[in-house]
Homo-oligomer: A and B are copies of this chain.
Amino acid sequence: MPVELSPSQALGLWHAVSLEQVRVDKRDLTLRQISILLQIYLVPPPHTVRGLAGILGVTKPVITRALDTMGDLGLVTRVRDERDKRNVIIRRTVDGALYLEKLGDLIIDQGRKLPI
């Protein structure tokens, strides 16, 4: 059941959500960080640094730094993989789930408010 959007609806939705998110939340995540966060929470685990780097098309240090920052913000955690100790498994947190839950609500709300 796809979602059909007009050009004005598409950008209008992005506009309203981005604006409200900026107003509500002090944390100014980059698009990369948001992508990582959504990937971790919407796609079944396990998630590794290398895997995320490949999916986003960026280098590994980019992922490491994003995880550092979002870790400080409490949005994700890292745990060593005990089966292969070279790997690090990225795990979800309650705060991260809450952050995305609010974002989802925001998208739904702003979608309802769209004109035309």
Interface residues of A (CB under 8 A from B): 1-7, 9-15, 17-19, 21-23, 28-32, 34-35, 38-39, 41-42, 55-58, 100-101, 103-105, 107-108, 111-116
Shortest Cβ distance from A5 into chain B, in angstroms?
5
User: At the interface, is chain A mostly helix, strand, loop or mixed?
Assistant: helix
Q: Give 13 CB contacts A-B under 8 Å.
A: A2-B114, A3-B5, A3-B9, A4-B111, A5-B107, A6-B108, A10-B107, A18-B38, A19-B35, A22-B31, A22-B57, A22-B58, A29-B31
When all copies of this chain in the complex are counted, the total is: 2
Q: Quick one: which of A4, A13, A112 has the most chain B CB within 10 A?
A: A13
State whether B30 touches A113 (Cβ < 8 A): no
Shortest Cβ distance from A91 into chain B, in angstroms?
18
What residues of B have a CB within 8 angstroms of the CB of A101 in the complex?
Answer: 7
State whether B23 touches A31 (Cβ < 8 A): no
Shortest Cβ distance from A114 into chain B, in angstroms?
5
